[in-house]
Structure 1
Amino acid sequence: MPHRPRIPSPGRRTVLRGSLLVPAAALPAAAASAPALALAGRPEAAWGVQVGSVTASSALVWVRSDRPARMLVETSATESFRRVRSWYGPLIGPGSDFTGTTPLYGLPAGEQVHYRVTLTDPGDPRRTGRPVYGTFRTAPARRRDGVRFLWSGDIAGQGWGINPDIGGYRVYEEMRRLDPDFFLCSGDTVYADGPLQPSVPLPDGRIWRNVMTEEKAKVAETLDEYRGNFRYNLLDRNFRRFNAQVPS
């Protein structure tokens, strides 16, 4: 008789992997129609965090999620977060472009405050995204103690956007290293009426290359396109690090 090769029985891991490949048509109707957000993982704050409206005893923390989420802010006097205060923020969703703010009160004057923001699945508080960290200084209690601040002009204007070939918005990293108490943007924060081009020829023959998004390829005409102009700047790592550390 011809030899018939032995076919091994599937192991537990093989069965589990195979069970994840069942076609949607074979699923019950309720499962097949479940929202994608319920299956896509944990909420993430890929646009970083920001802090502003800082006084001697208060501040306002901002975050943007990639899906509906509950915002939690924790503050500490040290980077280790050994002892924390918790601030329960709002439920954020599409009505605010998945952005939310949480006010902090009762902070010590003239002190460094470390904070982290965690986004939680509204339907399951055990499902949390990766914390995003930042720090800032509260205003001094006495006026004579003084503060240091920076100011600048427009952002991403006249066709010059985020150029990855030169490291993006490098000026924000240089400003962050100066460790100011706050920042004033004395100019336009977005150019909603100034679309970008993928590339711009320079006089010396080089090519300036812009990171492109759908919203930055045309003049903004809708609320989402206008918001997309703000989201564009947050694609830059230097800009996000600056926002997390320097109040504005």
Structure 2
Amino acid sequence: MKLPKPMVPGRLVRRYKRFLADVILEDTGEQVTASTPNTGSMMGLLDAGNRVWLSVSDDPRRKYRYRWELVEVAGPAGHALVGLNTSLPNALAAEAIKAGIVPSIPADGEIRCEVRYGEENSRIDLLVQPKEAPPIYIEVKNVTLSRRPGLAEFPDAVTARGAKHLRELERIARAGKARAMMIYMVQRTDAEACALAADIDPAYMEAWKRATAAGMETVCLACCIDPGQIVANRVIPLEHS
């Protein structure tokens, strides 16, 4: 997936009010306010002075001209680029499926997005309909946390919404008429494996275990990232605790 052009480098001053960040632009030294397309905790990504990349828009309808897209962090395995835009993982997952990156999903299936389903007023991120096989209900989660070298973790904060999605997938799996799948989209260049952060959200971990026991599948995808593009290019293992 191509990132917007131009991409402007800067240094993070602070992130605040969940949706905003102050950044000093590298080329001019000007301090600007950028919208932040990630309302999560962003644990480990918010150190002042971190190098960041902002997309720029001249659309008069946008309140903020700059949007924060990438951050470079000194992670446990060294420096890494991290994609923080939570609107991208669904499209990244769809691209990976069409490219045949996920062996367990037919690459020629029809893909629909944000389809209503379940018992808790949910919308499935991706609904894949293979030509001659049951449909596949897929939830996609954005993963940016890393506390151990090479290991990405989800979630980075308690997520009641995430647990709800697992309950919905559990019901799909138990019904036996379709496949249920969770995709963890790891937007970090230093990740070789993924794990669930049970110490951060034990309830999410228990919901994942129940859904898995019912037949839900889990796939972890890692990304190649640079200031021009983000591509989900490989499956990485899920490390069980």
- TM-score computed with the length of structure 2 as normaliser: 0.27
Which is higher, the Rg of structure 1 or of structure 2? 1
- TM-score computed with the length of structure 1 as normaliser: 0.26
